[in-house]
Amino acid sequence: MEPSIFYYLSTILVCGLLFGRFAKILHLPNVTGYLIGGLLIGPYMFGLLPELIVEEMSFVSELALGFIAFTIGSEFKFSYFKRVGITPIVIAVMEALIAVILVFFALIIIGVEIPFALVLSAIAAATAPAATVMVIKQYKAKGPVTETLLSVVAIDDAVALIIFGLNVAIAKAMTTPSASLFESILTPIWEIGISIGLGILFGFVMTISMRFFKSRANRFTVAVAGIFVTITAAQLLHGSSLLMVMAMSAAFANLYRDADLIMELSERATPPIFMMFFVVSGAHLNLAILPTLGWIGTIYVVFRVLGKWSGAYWGASIMKASDSVKKYLGPALIPQAGVAIGLTFVAQSVVPQYAGSIRAIILCATLIYELIGPAVAKLSLQKAGEIVSA
């Protein structure tokens, strides 16, 4: 008799609890423990979670990313931007752009073909918000670096899509002259526009819906339904579910006076979902692909980190942000996962001749970034004085 889905869900949760405790003993973020635990029980190590089951757990990823986007979007309040201005936007553009430029020219210097370098460097712009948000939640980090970090990782998603769209359009024109440059550029603009526009609309509808329900439980249920509906709309219209949920949450946070209460309820209800998400993410990691990284992959990993770090510093310097933001924001932008892997699938249709190399490099980079990123984010926030006790 085949084990039921509940057996695998319980295995994932028990693994998360045990390795989260193990990580705490080693003074590492829980996220790192969840990822290592998932790696060990996954199909590429001890096989407690078969590959087919890991693939079927994709709904957990969608669910967790929806709630993470909901958390991040709630930080986009008018009062916040009134106070800090466009600082997070400038920093997000700079850290993404500098990472792309450094990776691109480093690849060109070692002799990589321009279309390949354009596509691979564009993926360097993407940052994964999930691990960063979990570190902030676990240690209850508060302060200017934490505030700016949450805004930057949210804006980064939109910036990454624009840069990727432009680079892919150029690469496509170089490899297939008959390709429509206009259409290639228009696609990411449509994705961003429809995601933000519909997200704001859903946020407005959700705010109105709250009037018909008085209990906290029902209001939280409305919020959960809103997240599900928004994700569904993003999938149907080929928009970005992360951007759409963030826009919905931002609109809701600005329109609904008791939004903080809903966010508090969300924070209490979601830990098991986030735990499952990171354990399943760890199960996707395969250490056997590390030897395939090669020189190109090494350059991608190193120069992306340098670009994120220096770009965040220069952006903060331009906007005269505090010294702590200048010094400690960049290292917290290391994690990279979902969006980057999603972009590799698009890249495969644009430059199919490089598809295998791009996928191997991004998967290897994801493995490295996801394992070290949370610990670096924690250290950065500690040095900034925004984590009191760990």
Is 17 a member of any domain?
no
DSSP 8-class letter at 113: -
Hunting for tokens 């994709």 — which residue is that?
58
Domain CATH code at residue 77: 1.20.1530.20
pLDDT of residue 51: 84
- Residue 253 CB contacts under 8 Å (≥ 6 apart), including other chains: 73, 74, 75, 76, 77, 259, 263
- Residue 304 CB contacts under 8 Å (≥ 6 apart), including other chains: 99, 102, 103, 124, 336, 365
DSSP 8-class letter at 75: T
Show the domain range for 335. Answer: 59-265+288-383
Is 64 a member of any domain?
yes
pLDDT of residue 303: 92
- Residue 324 CB contacts under 8 Å (≥ 6 apart), including other chains: 143, 144, 145, 384, 385, 386
Is 1 a member of any domain?
no
* Joined tokens for residue 378: 């924690």
How far is CA 27 from each of CA 134, 137, 337, 382, rounded to the nearest angstrom? 15, 15, 23, 12
pLDDT of residue 102: 93
Per-residue pLDDT 10s for the chain (390 aa) are 667 888 888 999 999 999 988 888 887 778 788 888 888 898 888 888 888 888 888 788 778 878 878 887 887 777 777 776 788 888 888 998 999 999 999 999 888 888 888 888 888 888 777 777 778 877 888 888 888 888 888 778 777 777 877 777 777 777 666 555 566 666 667 777 888 889 999 999 999 999 888 888 899 999 999 999 999 998 888 777 777 888 899 899 899 888 888 888 888 888 888 888 888 878 877 777 667 667 888 888 899 989 998 999 999 888 888 888 888 888 888 877 666 666 676 676 667 777 777 777 877 787 778 778 888 888 888 888 887 665
Is 353 a member of any domain?
yes
Is 71 a member of any domain?
yes
pLDDT of residue 349: 65
pLDDT of residue 18: 93
Residue whose C-alpha is closest to residue 381's, from 309, 327, 321: 327
The pTM of this model reads 0.73
User: What are the backbone angles phi and psi of residue 214, rounded to the nearest 5°?
Assistant: -105, -35
Is 278 a member of any domain?
no
pLDDT of residue 6: 87
CA distance 228 to 223: 9
DSSP 8-class letter at 1: -
CA distance 357 to 117: 11
Tally of domains in the chain: 1
Is 170 a member of any domain?
yes
* Joined tokens for residue 322: 């505090």
- Residue 329 CB contacts under 8 Å (≥ 6 apart), including other chains: 91, 145, 148, 149, 152, 312, 313, 316, 380
For 292-298, the CB contacts below 8 A with 24+ separation are 292/360, 292/364, 293/360, 293/361, 293/364, 293/365, 294/361, 295/110, 296/107, 296/110, 296/112, 296/120, 296/357, 296/361, 297/360, 297/361, 297/364, 297/365
Is 276 a member of any domain?
no
